[in-house]
Structure 1
């Protein structure tokens, strides 16, 4: 009898703890956090973002309207960080963090904004949309880039390539579209600066 009561108590505790554990278990995020990093020259380039899925939707032109600035990811802002000073679009940028925004266009080139404040995307939201003028006012640099069409990319992804280990190509791909910009890590200038110190 004592053994039966002990087994029943143990079983009850097991069931109770199982239900408590299940109650704490959350469903996977619809747009999971993602991170990519690459050393290029003397610079570490890192991008942190949330990665939404296509899920059968028409993304550009419908979910994200042409001509409207978008946070280049989901949930919070997309952040790019440079460990040293770099050049983007011919403009020198100091080391630090920048928010990425993208303004897609129905025809022609898209605009990629690197925002110097790296503030929450919601700081730029007005009437449920991102205020492009407010973003542009805080741009460290805005570069134009022609989108490329390709195979479907179900989940938004950023990649960083560095063929010559001096200039990186940062690419955002989602749905059947990819758009890129280049980051000159100024490796040669940094070597010359180092040499001049001796």
Structure 2
């Protein structure tokens, strides 16, 4: 009986270590730029952003890591995707419901450009001889927004996006990373949609 108990205890111990070792072998290190997602309902529209969040890690981000005058993917890993569930207006231009890649062109002085790519392409689709073909990219912009960068109130170690519902008609979309903030407005066209509903009912 005693031998049986010792055998069972030893078997349980071996089984435990076998399972633990297999589990540890399957465990992967966390991604350096973890995926992130934010969503906000504004008026009749759901606005969402799917992106990856790189860290500063003691580096100078804008001007060195992300060169001035060069368009980048506004995140890490795959494309940064902004999605609208209904038609919206940005910078006075109406764009349809759907997914758009979001790119940013930083500048050493003056306004930066936020691109909403109408084809939801990755930035790599516009690479030519190791550089971004800005002309080809501009052709696929659903809208390009000129935005003045603002000094962030503190250093943001991780890139992050925020969506504010504001008056529940016009949303404010804000990008923050390192010492920079950029914001642009999205008019969800509540009044226009209400007029459409009146025509239906």
Q: Same fold (TM over 0.5)?
A: yes
Length-normalised TM-score, structure 2:
0.94
What is aligned with 1:115? 117
Specify the alignment match of 1:175 in structure 2: 178
- Single out whichever of 187-196 and 120-129 deviates more from structure 2: 120-129
Match of 1:30 in 2: 32
Contact 2:72 2:123 in 1 (8 A): no
Matched, 1:102 2:80: no
CA apart distance, 1:185: 0.5
Q: Does residue 60 of the first structure (1) align with residue 81 of the second (2)? A: no
Count of residue correspondences: 198
**Aligned residue number for residue 77 of structure 2:** 75
Cα shift readout 1:146-184 (whole Å, capped 9, x = no counterpart): 000021111100001121111111110000101111111
Deviation by residue 1:70-109 (Cα, 9 ceiling, x = unmatched):
1000001000000000001111101000000000000000
Equivalent residues of 1:76, 1:121 under 8 A apart: no
Query: Map of 1:1-198 to 2, 5 A cutoff?
Result: 1-150=3-152, 151-198=154-201
The normalised TM-score by structure 1 is 0.96
For residues 120 and 107 of structure 1, the distance between their equivalents in structure 2, rounded to whole angstroms, comes to: 26
Pick closer, same or farther for the CA change 1:129–1:30 going to 2, 3 Å.
Answer: farther
Q: Specify the SS of the correspondent of 1:77.
A: coil
Q: Unaligned 5+ residue runs, structure 1?
A: none
Q: CA deviation at 1:16?
A: 1.4
Q: Rate the CA distance shift 1:9–1:129 in 2: closer, same or farther, 3 A.
A: farther
The 2-side partners of 1:73 and 1:157 are apart by: 9
Gaps of 5+ in 2: none
Paired residue secondary structure (2:9):
helix
Shift of 1:134: 2.5
**1:120 CA displacement:** 3.0
